[in-house]
């Protein structure tokens, strides 16, 4: 069976029976898997809070936030039926539905919502050699965990400024928590991270004795990124207060999405989207980036077609723009 056909079959089976493998029935909970990211990132924090909100509001569902490498892995897991919902960056999701880049065939996924924007962090230390993107040449750099959206954005950012990620840097493939530890210990000179403002692993690094965190601007890569990869890349300002820095940092930015398999039950997709907004206070208490989850923004994505259940929710709330 070809990969595309296998992915479509897995998505259909998952929609019918759930990723936990148990068919729904009286007294049998529907197990819902939410593919998030590493424990040091925002996806995992918000995914856990959303899972708890789902369990409180949707009887008969047991929801679990799963630790993953994030975007690319999440998209593949949703398409294979190994997860019901996945957090992802919009650029990776657009590649997935088009079957380009890291994806050798289109994936059968649909969007529930556009979430808050991610910032492309380039993290170094004031005492180290990296003050600008160009300073990464010849340095030890973590480009993110394998099969993560961070890794893809890091590779594209390097290419946008004329650096070859395969030859011009000594590459490490670490999660954000592992990257922060490696930078603090002097095992790398810098690391990339695509995440929300106030990512826990970077906050902890900033508060470590003697760390003297430096965030390098990445906004200068945006024109080349947009030319090569599309309008998902924009300039944004990462507020200094997120990490206790002296000044705001100009960064490139990409929106985040929640995606599901195209065959997910429409009523369930509707209810999951509903809970996302009903639980706004709980999500914001878990992480302040949840303040960026708004109806108008959530319904305005163009990277991935929306699931009919989500569309119904937005129409009911008067937020569907089409």
Looking at the structure, do residues 157 and 247 belong to the same domain, yes or no?
yes
Regarding whether 242 and 148 lie in a shared domain, the answer is yes
Q: How many residues are present in the chain?
A: 322
In the chain the beta strands, taken as DSSP E runs, fall at 30-35, 61-66, 85-89, 109-125, 140-142, 170-172, 190-195, 213-216, 234-238, 249-261
322 falls within a domain: no
Same domain assignment for residues 10 and 32:
yes
Using CB atoms within 10 Å of the CB of residue 27, give its burial: 0 to 12 exposed, 13 to 18 middle, 19+ buried.
exposed
Q: Do 149 and 92 form a contact (C-beta atoms < 8 A)?
A: yes
In angstroms, the Cα distances linking 262 to 14, 19, 40, 66, 97 are: 10, 14, 29, 20, 11
| In a domain? residue 218 | yes
Q: Tell me whether strands 85-89 and 249-261 are parallel, antiparallel or unpaired.
A: antiparallel
- Are 237 and 263 in a shared domain? no
Q: Which CATH number goes with the domain that contains 274?
A: 3.40.190.10
Q: What averages of pLDDT result for each successive group of 10 residues across the chain (322 residues)?
A: 40 41 58 95 96 97 96 97 97 96 96 96 97 98 94 97 97 96 97 94 93 96 95 95 95 97 98 98 96 95 96 97 85
Residue 149 within a domain: yes
pTM to 2 decimals? 0.86
- Residue where one domain finishes, among candidates 235, 254, 273: 254
Q: What is the pLDDT of residue 179?
A: 97
Together in a domain, 80 and 175: no
Alpha-carbon dihedral of residues 148, 151, 152, 156, nearest 10 degrees?
170
Provide the pLDDT for residue 210. Answer: 86
Residue ending a domain, among 239, 254, 269, is 254
**Do 161 and 79 share a structural domain?**
no
**248 & 122 share domain:** yes
Q: Does 80 reside within a domain?
A: yes
Same domain, 281 and 168: no
What is the model's pLDDT at position 322? Answer: 80
- Position 118 scores a pLDDT of 94
**Is 207 a domain residue?**
yes
| One domain for residues 142 and 83 | no
Is 186 part of any domain?
yes
Long-range contact set of residues 22-25: C-beta below 8 Å, sequence gap at least 24: none
Q: Which of 236, 254, 272 is the last residue of a domain?
A: 254
Domain count of the chain? 2
Asked, for residue 321, whether it belongs to a domain, the answer is: no
Q: Which domain holds residue 124?
A: 118-254
Asked if residue 95 belongs to a domain, the reply is: yes
Token pair in block for residue 297: 């923004």
Task: Verify that 239 and 126 share a domain, yes or no.
Answer: yes
Distance of alpha carbon 240 from alpha carbon 245, whole angstroms: 5
Together in a domain, 193 and 149: yes
Same domain, 31 and 155: no
pLDDT of 97 reads 97
């Amino acid at each position: 069976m070809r990969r595309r056909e296998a992915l479509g079959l897995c998505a259909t089976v998952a929609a019918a029976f759930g990723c936990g493998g148990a068919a729904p029935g009286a007294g049998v909970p529907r197990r819902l898997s939410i593919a998030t990211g590493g424990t040091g990132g925002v996806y995992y924090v918000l995914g856990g809070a959303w899972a708890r909100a789902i369990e409180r509001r949707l009887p008969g569902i047991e929801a679990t936030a799963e630790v993953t490498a994030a975007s690319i892995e999440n998209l593949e897991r949703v398409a294979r039926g190994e997860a019901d919902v996945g957090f992802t960056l919009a650029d990776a999701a657009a590649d997935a539905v088009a079957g380009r880049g890291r994806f050798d065939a289109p994936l059968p996924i649909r969007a529930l919502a556009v979430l808050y924007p991610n910032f492309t962090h380039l993290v170094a230390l004031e005492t180290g050699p990296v003050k600008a993107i160009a300073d990464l040449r010849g340095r030890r750099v973590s480009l993110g965990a394998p099969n993560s959206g961070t890794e893809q954005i890091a590779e594209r950012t390097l290419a946008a400024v004329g650096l070859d990620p395969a030859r011009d840097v000594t590459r490490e493939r670490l999660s954000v928590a592992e990257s922060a530890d490696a930078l603090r210990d002097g095992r790398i000179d810098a690391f990339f991270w695509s995440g929300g403002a106030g990512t826990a692993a970077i906050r902890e690094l900033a508060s470590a004795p003697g760390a003297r965190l430096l965030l390098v601007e990445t906004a200068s890569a945006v024109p080349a990124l947009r030319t090569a990869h599309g309008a998902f890349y924009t300039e944004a300002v990462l507020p200094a207060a997120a990490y206790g820095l002296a000044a705001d940092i100009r960064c490139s930015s990409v929106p985040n999405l929640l995606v599901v398999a195209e065959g997910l039950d429409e009523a369930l997709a509707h209810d999951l989207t509903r809970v996302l907004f009903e639980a706004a206070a709980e999500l914001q208490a878990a992480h302040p980036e949840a303040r960026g989850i708004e109806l108008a923004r959530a319904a305005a994505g163009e990277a991935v077609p929306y699931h009919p259940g989500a569309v119904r929710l937005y129409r009911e709330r008067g937020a569907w723009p089409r």
